[in-house]
Amino acid sequence: MNETLTELKSRIVSWAEKACHLGLVSSSTVETLASLSEQTPANLFDRNERPLVVGFFGGTGVGKSTLLNRLAGESIARTGVERPTSREVTLYLHDSVSIDHLPADFPLDKIHTATHGNDENRHILWIDMPDFDSSESANREQVHNWLPHIDLLIYVVSPERYKDDNGWRLLLEHGQRHAWCFVINHWDKGSDVQRQDFTRMLAEAGLDKPLLFCTDSSGSQSDTAHRPDNAENTDDLGALKTTVQSLADRNTIRQLEVRGISVRAGEMKHEVETAIEGMGSDENHQALEQYWTAQWQEVCSAIKAALQWKIDTIAAGYKQPEAGLIGSAFRLLGRRGSNPATGTDHTETESLSADAGSINDTLFESDIMSRMQDSLAGLVQQAPQNGVPAASVRTALGTRQSVDDSALNQTVQEHLQIALNSPGSSVQRILHKLFAVLASVLPALAMAWAGYRIVTAFHAGGATPAAYLSSNFAINALLLLALAWALPYFLYRKTKPSRVTAARKGLREGLNHSLTHFGDQVSEALRKLRAEKDQLQDNGRALFHAFPAPTANPEPSADKPLSRALLNQRGTESSVH
């Protein structure tokens, strides 16, 4: 099962790295999850039947090594006189037991191993760890490295040092992972008041009926010269030894192993759930999307108002100069290669294209770019207030945070070119084309009719002189010709689409399209971020389906030492607060 725990941690770290890549969790969260221990005492051994791993835990000078020597009945661990800083770890195990897998980062030169042949302690591996309050970081690191590999921690204190803050911090932090026994050593210098106070502190920490033993470090029960008057004449070394041996049966070791794995999985689950909460809820992300929509509408309105004068100025530059009546007439009559849709010739179209290209980088300038970038910066700043990690929004926006003015101006230019190529409405363009044709055809028909009358009158005048046409005909013919040309030409001029209006329309449409497209891109990025967040949250919760929550501890009972050795849930809550 601990192999499954290792696989679980690997999946958790992989999950966290994906979330970190999206900015949904910080790199420190990934480091926290990666630092969670998946190691258990079973990792030290190859075989299923392993010993109970018992560690002596305490501060400097409390007598851990002396206590181990007394339990062993021989000098196993070097005491404070020989190693005042307690730099090494002492392992005391039966001849038949071997440690198969020491972690690679354990300093082997600081591990002292001793064996024995006492079958009473056959199923117990004793570990004397360095002082947790040592000034040397290497010693504290050794303690932290060994803790995951221990089933039962014997917390050794002295009458003067049972309120050590470092010890309590480790107790509350690691309380659920281990079974606990407590020893007040140097009891020849202690009092029952101190034992009662220590018992009260343990109850507050989550051990209602702690396994608490008082041992005499004097080496002799008859040595009472320095014992306080109110101290009890007792030494619980035998009871401590018996209790530890009772916990070293196969069933209890299995229970501790299963509990340790369950607790470690629970700790991982707690950290993952914390990371999931930090990603923000759907409501948080939707609120941020709504904020952006409202904010961007205000920004767009401000940009359009600011650019209105510029649009009018640019559009005015596309006004076509008037050619005059005669020039227009000759140009109309002599047009070749015209655009059938607009009535403009290719030379004019090329001129429009050249003019359109000249505004490529003039509509969106630095002040407009600054407004757009400020709106994105405001979105990133708003994200934490909506419960969304700012880094995730920054990552989702990506290159959009650097607004590309050339792309925006290119979009405006394209819409301007389209508008200039098809100015006015379709009806207006059809009428304009029709009147252009009539302005050429009607004068020709009028001249053809007048010519026909002149020829027929001349032919008839040979026989009848009265058939010749008079000056009245000439006047009427000229009037007809003028009317046949002037009326369609007048309507042609009136229906001609305005280049200024077309340019203004194209610029506005280009501006609207650019701003709308930009806003939609950001909205789509936020929606994609929410979808990725939902997927990661679902994946994170699914990691723990195979790991049930730890079961509650049984009620403490005098005949069940294990129930008294386990920290209840109240202790875990205390560590959180």
Give start and end residues of each alpha helix (H) in 279-397: 282-316, 325-333, 346-357, 366-385, 390-397
pLDDT in tens, 188-244: 888 889 899 989 988 888 888 899 999 986 654 444 444 444 445 578 899 999 999
Q: Cα–Cα distances in Å, from 253 out to 68, 104, 121, 245, 250?
A: 21, 25, 14, 11, 5
Lowest mean pLDDT among 26-35, 396-405, 435-444: 396-405
Query: Of 45, 52, 482, 469, whose CA–CA distance to 241 is shortest?
Result: 52
Contact 79, 131 (CB under 8 A): no
pLDDT at 45 over 80: yes
pLDDT confidence of residue 340: 46
SS3 531: helix
The torsion angles phi and psi of 267, rounded to 5 degrees, stand at -65, -40
Query: Of 287, 285, 307, whose CA–CA distance to 371 is shortest?
Result: 307
Q: What is the DSSP letter of 554?
A: P
Q: Can you tell me the distance from the alpha carbon of 116 to that of 93, in angstroms, rounded to the nearest whole number?
A: 6
pLDDT confidence of residue 482: 85
Contact 198, 212 (CB under 8 A): yes
Q: How many residues does the chain have?
A: 577
Contact 439, 488 (CB under 8 A): yes
Query: Of 497, 504, 301, whose CA–CA distance to 412 is shortest?
Result: 504
Contact 151, 52 (CB under 8 A): yes
In this structure, whether the domain defined by 50-220+232-247 belongs to CATH 3.40.50.300 is answered with yes
Higher pLDDT, 464 or 386: 386
Contacts of 127 (CB under 8 A, 6+ apart): 53, 54, 55, 56, 89, 90, 91, 92, 146, 150
Contacts of 108 (CB under 8 A, 6+ apart): 102
SS3 336: coil
Contact 212, 199 (CB under 8 A): yes
Q: Can you tell me the distance from the alpha carbon of 58 to that of 537, in angstroms, rounded to the nearest whole number?
A: 41
Sign of the Cα torsion 360, 364, 367, 371 reads negative
Q: Can you tell me the distance from the alpha carbon of 56 to that of 155, in angstroms, rounded to the nearest whole number?
A: 6
pLDDT confidence of residue 81: 43
DSSP string, 421-463: HS-S-HHHHHHHHHHHHHHHHHHHHHHHHHHHHHHHHHHHHTT
Q: Can you tell me the distance from the alpha carbon of 60 to that of 68, in angstroms, rounded to the nearest whole number?
A: 15
pLDDT at 299 over 90: yes
pTM over 0.85: no
Task: Indicate the residue type of 258.
Answer: V
pLDDT at 54 over 90: yes
Q: Can you tell me the distance from the alpha carbon of 364 to that of 359, in angstroms, rounded to the nearest whole number?
A: 10
Q: Can you tell me the distance from the alpha carbon of 76 to that of 88, in angstroms, rounded to the nearest whole number?
A: 12
Q: Can you tell me the distance from the alpha carbon of 568 to that of 577, in angstroms, rounded to the nearest whole number?
A: 15
On the CB side of 305, how many CA atoms lie within 13 Å of its CA?
7
pLDDT interval class at 546 (50, 70, 90):
low
259 token code pair: 């509990």
pLDDT at 181 over 70: yes
112 burial via Cβ count (<10 Å: 0-12, 13-18, 19+):
middle
522 token code pair: 């950001």
pLDDT interval class at 16 (50, 70, 90):
very high
Higher pLDDT, 275 or 109: 275
**Number of other residues whose CB lies within 10 A of the CB of residue 215:** 24
Contact 151, 178 (CB under 8 A): yes
- What is the average per-residue pLDDT within 168-176? 78
Contacts of 221 (CB under 8 A, 6+ apart): 233, 235
Lowest mean pLDDT among 40-49, 314-323, 344-353, 539-548: 344-353
Any idea where the domains of the chain sit in the sequence? 1-35+257-278, 50-220+232-247, 280-322+345-424+498-540, 425-496
Contact 508, 309 (CB under 8 A): no
**What mean pLDDT value characterizes the chain?**
80
Q: Can you tell me the distance from the alpha carbon of 166 to that of 134, in angstroms, rounded to the nearest whole number?
A: 10
Q: Can you tell me the distance from the alpha carbon of 375 to that of 267, in angstroms, rounded to the nearest whole number?
A: 40
pLDDT interval class at 13 (50, 70, 90):
very high
Residue at token pair 């990725």:
532
SS3 358: coil
pLDDT at 359 over 50: no
Contacts of 161 (CB under 8 A, 6+ apart): 59, 61, 62
What b/e sequence results for 369-406 when a residue is b if at least 16 CB atoms lie within 10 Å of its CB, and e otherwise?
Answer: eeebeebbeebbebbeebbbbebbbbbbbeeeeebebe
